[in-house]
A and B are shown apart, each in its own frame.
Chain A
Amino acid sequence: MNKIALIVRKELYRVFGDKKMIMGLYVIPVIVTVAIYVLIGKMTSVMTNDIEQHTSLVTIANATDDFKDAVENSGFSQNAQINYIDDVTYADKKASLDEEVKNSDMDLVVCLSADFEEIADEYAAGGSVMPGIDIYYNDTNNYSSKAYSVFNNTVLETYKNSLLTERYGDVDYLSVFNINTENICKESMANTQFIRMMLPYMVIMLLFAGVMSVGVDAIAGEKERGTLASMLISPVKRSEIAAGKLIGMAILSSISAVVTTASMVLAFAFMGSDSTLSGIGFGGVSFSALQIVELLLIMLALVLFYVSLVALVAVYSGNTKAASSAISPIYLVIIALGMVTMFRTGTDTPTYLYAVPVYGNALAVGDVCSGELTLVNFLVSFVGTTAIAGILTALVTKAFNNEKLMFNA
């Protein structure tokens, strides 16, 4: 049997022959990933619904009869508990009402100027003093923010229109043009902002985590245990040992990546099926067959790069502890590179940046999600990453012939 295939089979058996390894590498990460996203989705959905269904606690001081009518007619009162107070009571309670808003015991306090209608009439007749409405709310309290927003858009708009109608007869006289607004984004991108932002980062990070978990022990562990020496004096070329190790690591890591990504897609699909979540950017992303192929090829190139990088670090390290210590800062850099791409602006990214491993791959995955990946950028990303992985692989093979590295000589 081909020696490379033998070594690959051993690396695979090492994981698939051990239930604990399967659990640690494939099952638990999937459960944790799905659980985290489902939990985030559920909690976000519950929070959004809770805010929507919350009965706003509102105090309105000096409300005129017309203003009270506006409150009723706007529908605001249907989901609000409103306490009307007069000017004297408001003056007495102002401090305590402010405190209640700060402490989230009250959502909104509205105070109309005393003699609001008289002042409004005088202003309409040419007076210089305009009546005022003071609004107090707490931006750090979701209930209060929502109450303010709804009050502003419904009650105040209704009341303003009624006063303008009273003053000018037809409020349309005050309009000078119509504004028609239409959101014409791609259908595939509608309500998917969150997923499109998160997916490249998650792919970049999870792939490396998968490689890291199998790669360190496969090389540094064997060196430390002395079993690599047993293989090095067997009639197998060192390049075959290196190739077998790297291919084994790549297969295990790819399975880990595919399983984890599939679990994320499932979790996202679950989140996308929730209309509340979909409305705030958690909608599911759907891919065409071409996009799936592009995504898999980008991930494959990235796995090859990660495997060769981790193998190189492991082979240069004296033991697993040293290898893990050396890989930790690399992991942080990779997380940082993935995060940078989360906050891309709409400006065009130069093509050469797609050749930068990790960063370029994250850009390409992001473009796949938004359906904007060009053939040139795809090829630059794929070829660039694969070429650098090839260089690192050559260095790993060379290192297997270095007695100083292999035996700390």
Chain B
Amino acid sequence: MIEINGLTKIYKLSAKKKKELKTNKNVKIAVNDLSLVAEDGQITVLLGPNGAGKTTTLRNVSTLLTPTKGYIKVNGHDTVKEAQKVRDSICFLTNEIKLDEHFTVDYLFTFFGRIKNLDDATIEKRKKELFETFDMSDFKDKRIEELSTGMKQKASIVVNLVNDPEVVIFDEPTSGLDIVTARSVLDYLKKLRNEGKTVIVSTHIMSEAEKLADKVAMIIGGRKVIEGTIPEILAKTQTADLEDAFFKLYMENNCSEKGDKDE
């Protein structure tokens, strides 16, 4: 379970960043007082436009960033005070990850398995299971540079799932994936959910949220504007679908469409 309580993340802006963002402010509030609970056996979707603060939230959950205010607990462990314990139980996936092209998938899988304290027998068992699930057995001995774009993306996902984590954090799971790979990733996330794992993903694609989410938290301008199951959100916003709900909330929150790419 992930418990996010009053998460606020403020970045100091360098002169270069201020110029890029065309602002005179010295700080940027990426996430503002966000609270959320992601339960075991559920897929929680953070839904919002680019620059809303989704990636920053997930990076805080995965211990890569430290909250400016508030705290996060993963399976009861504080992400700052007990970061190593949190890291034992999570994986953080993003389609921005590009594996080093000099290695084979098999080598990287074994490397990350050992780094995550798995014994060789467990690594081999997980290798067999994940390579079959993602249809990668024929490619395991090929270097990353020899794989197609879709296979590279699958490889980076598979490598990060080596430790069979209890908590799966996935930033934009289908971004940049081909349709076949995207489908296999979404199916796998559902499988993990059915196994009782905690799954939290971010997306700006409404249809993806509708397919995956047990619970949706809409984030706009760093703030959570609504949280609940899809029927609950539609009822609260009195809209017919998630897209209409989002735009209604978006207009109410009077947000500019200018997305901040540096979440």
Contact = CB atoms under 8 A, between A and B. Distances in A.
Given A403-B64, A407-B65, A234 B112 contact: yes
A409 B63 contact: no
A406 to B, nearest CB: 7
B92 A233 contact: yes
A14 B64 contact: no
B102 A17 contact: yes
Contacts, number: 76
B183 to A, nearest CB: 23
B255 interface: no
Nearest to B84: A235
Contact of A225 (B59, B97, B114, B116): B97
A235 B64 contact: no
A6 B113 CA distance: 11
A221 interface: yes
A229 B64 contact: yes
Contacts of B11: 409
Contacts of B262: 408-409
A4 to B, nearest CB: 11
Given A17-B103, A233-B87, A227 B98 contact: yes
A232 B83 CA distance: 11
Interface string B33-66: 0000000000000000000000010010011111
B133 to A, nearest CB: 19
A10 B111 contact: yes
A6 B112 CA distance: 10
Contacts of A221: 100
A9 to B, nearest CB: 8
Contacts of A17: 102-103, 107
A227 B66 contact: no
B245 interface: no
A236 B118 CA distance: 13
Contacts of B117: 235
A222 B56 CA distance: 20
Contacts of B59: 407, 409
Interface string B53-90: 00010010011111000000000000000001001101
Which of B94, B100, B116 is most buried by chain A, counting CB atoms within 10 A of its CB?
A: B100
Interface string A1-38: 10100110010011001100100000000000000000
Contacts of A403: 64-66
A109 B104 CA distance: 74
A232 B79 CA distance: 13
B115 interface: yes
Contacts of B56: 409
B112 A225 contact: no
Interface size bucket, A side?
A: 20 to 34
Which of A10, A13, A233 is most buried by chain B, counting CB atoms within 10 A of its CB?
A: A233
Given A406-B64, A407-B64, A409-B65, A231 B115 contact: yes
Given A6-B115, A231-B115, A234-B87, A222 B65 contact: no
Contacts of B88: 235
Interface size bucket, B side?
A: 20 to 34
A234 B117 CA distance: 9
B202 interface: no
A396 to B, nearest CB: 18
A230 B160 contact: yes
Contacts of B98: 225-227
Interface string B143-163: 100000000000000011000
A213 B56 CA distance: 33
B96 interface: yes
B29 interface: no
B100 A233 contact: no
B99 interface: yes
A247 to B, nearest CB: 16
A406 B143 CA distance: 26
Which of A6, A18, A225, A236 is most buried by chain B, counting CB atoms within 10 A of its CB?
A: A225
Contacts of A233: 62-64, 87, 90-92
Given A17-B107, A229-B92, A230-B92, A236 B65 contact: no
Nearest to B96: A226
Contacts of B94: 226, 229
Contacts of B92: 229-230, 233
A6 B114 contact: yes
Interface of A: 1, 3, 6-7, 10, 13-14, 17-18, 21, 221-222, 225-227, 229-237, 403, 406-409
| Top 9 A-B pairs, shortest CB-CB distance | A226-B97, A225-B98, A234-B115, A226-B96, A18-B102, A235-B87, A14-B102, A403-B65, A235-B88
19 contacts: A10-B111, A13-B103, A14-B102, A14-B103, A17-B102, A21-B102, A221-B100, A222-B100, A229-B92, A230-B97, A230-B112, A231-B115, A233-B62, A233-B91, A407-B59, A407-B64, A408-B262, A409-B59, A409-B262
Given A7-B115, A14-B102, A221-B100, 13 more contacts: A10-B103, A17-B102, A229-B92, A232-B64, A235-B87, A235-B88, A235-B115, A235-B116, A235-B117, A237-B84, A403-B64, A406-B64, A409-B65
